[in-house]
């Protein structure tokens, strides 16, 4: 079944100038990019996006980081997009990610791990709407 997922290239990867390499990998993995924009989140926008984590100890540093520089937000489509994108990204900790995954290749730490992806269809729908307000 073709589905959509949200992908974010985080500030660390934008600063490292690997956006093109990540997009190339997205295309090689068979995704269609149906939406893409570069922007910089305010602290408040980052807090809104990551509100599900507001009670966790890393919330402040995560939202500081996500509002520290430009990000690239994309809507990806393909069969089983959510699971395939998460496999392509690798686990959250780049040091534990499988070789050839994006986080292994481009991530620095658990927080500065190059990319984000939705974890479920409901999350994907909410996250896409957060960045692409539907009329």
- Rounded to 10°, the helix 121-131/81-89 angle is 80
Residues ≥6 apart with Cβ < 8 Å to 38: 14, 70, 71, 72, 73
Contact 121, 17 (CB under 8 A): no
User: Active-site residue numbers?
Assistant: 116
């Amino acid at each position: 079944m073709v589905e959509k997922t949200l992908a974010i290239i985080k500030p660390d990867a934008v600063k490292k100038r690997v956006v093109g390499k990540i997009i190339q990998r997205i295309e090689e993995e068979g995704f269609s990019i149906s939406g893409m924009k570069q922007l910089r989140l305010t602290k408040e926008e980052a807090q809104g996006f990551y509100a599900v984590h507001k009670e966790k100890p890393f919330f402040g540093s995560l939202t500081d980081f996500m509002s520290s520089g430009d990000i690239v937000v994309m809507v990806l489509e393909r069969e089983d997009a959510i699971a395939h994108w998460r496999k392509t990204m690798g686990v959250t900790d780049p040091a534990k990610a499988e070789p050839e995954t994006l986080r292994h290749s481009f991530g620095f730490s658990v927080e500065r791990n190059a990319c984000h992806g939705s974890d479920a269809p409901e999350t994907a729908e909410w996250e896409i709407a957060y960045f692409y307000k539907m009329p």
